[in-house]
Amino acid sequence: MGNQVILIEHPLIQHKLTLMRKAETSTVKFRVLLKEIGMLLGYEVTRDLPLKHEKIQTPLASMNAPILAPEKKLVIVSIQRAGQGILDGMLELMPSARVGHIGLYRDPKTLIPVEYYFKVPHDIEKRDVLVVDPMLATGNSAVAAVERVKSTNPLSIKFVCLLAAPEGIEHFIEVHPDVSIYTAAIDEKLDEHGYILPGMGDAGDRLFGTR
């Protein structure tokens, strides 16, 4: 299956992303913006959900009306911690989506992700999955998270982020050519510590006010 990188250039997302990048943006604003963008990304990445028709009765007449076809709701898998921000927005839009969590942090020296938590719905095999994390830097975290989710055999997987570095995209595509990447921006490069440039800094720290 060919890989796809889908750039989401919606003006509302681009505007909010710029506000998030600014160094002076507070934790409170950063959190609100990430949730709003999460909602907008959720709207964009679900464009291809199949519909079926159901006979309904309006106050005036009956009609065949469209409803979502999948019997099983989507699963949104958040890469903790920063993925929580996108998850919150997506859940606002799709309140009955199921949720999985994968806890990962990058070792600051090696940039290798360390897993500390993994929990997904028991019937994930019958569901489509969105793996969400605002940052795709070296790609190590996204690659490991998708590998872990793949081991549970879901119907399909999409990876959704906010900012991607070219290096991370290349790495991800190499390991997971069957998983599409949805991102709102592709930045210039990584710095010597594996941070995205110009980027937005450490998304988890900015979201939760840690350092």
Ligand X SMILES: O=P(O)(O)OC[C@H]1O[C@H](OP(=O)(O)OP(=O)(O)O)[C@H](O)[C@@H]1O
Ligand Y SMILES: O=c1cc[nH]c(=O)[nH]1
Binds Mg ion by CB under 5 A, chosen from 162, 204, 206, 207: 204
Q: What residue numbers does the annotated binding site for uracil cover? A: 196, 201-203
Catalytic one of 21, 106, 127, 148: 106
Amino acid at site 151? S
Q: Which H or E element spans position 62? A: strand 62-68
Residue 205 annotated among the catalytic residues of the structure? yes
Instruction: Say if residues 194 and 138 touch (Cβ distance below 8 Å).
Output: yes
User: What 3-state DSSP class applies to 163?
Assistant: strand
Q: Is 187 a catalytic residue?
A: no
**For residues 157 and 203, which CB has a smaller minimum distance to ligand Y in the complex?**
203
Report d(CA 134, CA 164) in Å as an integer: 8
Structure tokens that stand for 24 in this block: 């002076």
Identify which of 1, 52, 38 has the alpha carbon closest to the alpha carbon of residue 173: 1
Q: Give yes or no for residue 100 binding ligand Y (CB under 6 A).
A: no
Residue 183 bears catalytic tag:
no
CB atoms within 10 A of CB 46: 17
Min dist. Cβ of residue 190 to ligand Y (A): 8
CA 65 to chain centroid, in Å, comes to: 30
Backbone angles phi, psi at 138, to 5 degrees: -75, -20
Q: Which of 34, 40, 137, 162 binds ligand Y (CB under 6 A)?
A: 137
- Give the C-alpha separation, 32 to 26, whole Å: 10
Q: Does 204 interact with ligand Y (rule: CB under 6 A)?
A: yes
Q: Which of residues 143-202 bind ligand Y (CB under 6 A)?
A: 195-196, 199, 202
From the list ligand Y, ligand X, Mg ion, none, pick the one residue 136 interacts with, judged by a Cβ distance below 5 to 8 Å according to partner type. Answer: ligand X
Q: Which is nearer to ligand X, 75 or 135 (CB)?
A: 135
The binding site for 5-phospho-alpha-D-ribose 1-diphosphate consists of 81, 106, 133-141, 202
Which residues are identified as catalytic? 106, 110, 202, 205
State the residues that interact with ligand Y by CB under 6 A. Answer: 82, 135, 137, 195-196, 199, 202-204
